[in-house]
Amino acid sequence: MRITGGRFGGRPLATPADDRVRPTSDKVRQAVFNILAHNDFGFGFTLENARVIDLFAGTGAMGLEALSRGADYCLFVDSSAESRALVRRNVEALALTGITKIWRRDATALGPLSANSGGPFNLAFLDPPYRQDLLAPALHALREGCWLASGALIVAEYHVDEEPAKCGGLEVLDARSYGDTCVAFMRGRVLHE
């Protein structure tokens, strides 16, 4: 695995020793960021200076890619000690400790926005373990806890066999399939201004 573009393009990332953590492939990550860069969603989203939250962070590849391509800050959230260690290794290898935080927290039970989180966030990545019905509760936690800024974009990954998550007030702007992975780009009614 590597960073696919931006100032750290080509830099390798630490990966898990086994398949308990399923990182987003380079191909899917590059496709997602190409879509974000071309911003065909009809509103003024930009990665430049964005504040990012990466839920179910795994290796941190999505948030690190966003930082490489112009985001200002990323909060990585994962309940797994192994995943947090991978994120930490990758953050330190890219010398990004000053613009990142790594939190141990259940992404489906975030609670209200914490003052020291760095939010609210303009961009949220959600890549929960497949087939465990975690996407909808995590989306709900983000919205109800006021973790999203006005105009925030949400990028959610799920298995092709799963139904896209339904969370009241969210609009699916685009959805793409890449092998067994689907990626949905969403936004909705904002609860935090």
pLDDT value for 169? 67
Q: Is the dihedral of CA 140, 142, 146, 148 positive or negative?
A: negative
pLDDT value for 27? 87
Report the SS3 class of residue 65.
helix
DSSP labels, 122-144? EEEEE-PPTTSS-HHHHHHHHHH
pLDDT value for 172? 84
Q: Mind listing the pLDDT tens digit of every residue in the chain (193 residues)?
A: 899 999 999 999 998 876 666 677 788 899 999 988 887 666 667 899 999 999 999 999 999 999 999 999 999 999 999 999 999 999 999 999 999 999 999 999 999 999 999 999 999 999 998 888 899 999 999 989 999 998 889 999 998 888 766 666 678 888 899 988 999 999 865 444 3
pLDDT value for 190? 47
Report the distance separating Cα 21 and Cα 80, nearest Å: 9
Set out the domains of the chain in order of their start, with CATH numbers: 25-188 (3.40.50.150)
pLDDT value for 89? 97
**End-to-end Cα separation, the chain, in angstroms:** 36
The structure tokens 């930490």 sit at: 88
pLDDT value for 150? 82
Please report which helix (H) or strand (E) contains residue 67, including its range: helix 61-68
Q: Is the dihedral of CA 130, 39, 120, 144 positive or negative?
A: negative
CB 128 within 8 A of CB 107: yes
pLDDT value for 192? 41
pLDDT value for 78? 96
Instruction: Give exposure, 29-63, as e/b (b: 16+ Cβ within 10 Å).
Output: bbbbbebbeeeebeeebebeebbbbbbbbbbbbbb
Cα–Cα distances in Å, from 150 out to 29, 135, 139, 155? 24, 21, 15, 15
Which tokens in the block code for residue 156?
A: 């959610």
Report the distance separating Cα 17 and Cα 9, nearest Å: 23
- At position 10, the amino acid (one-letter code) is G
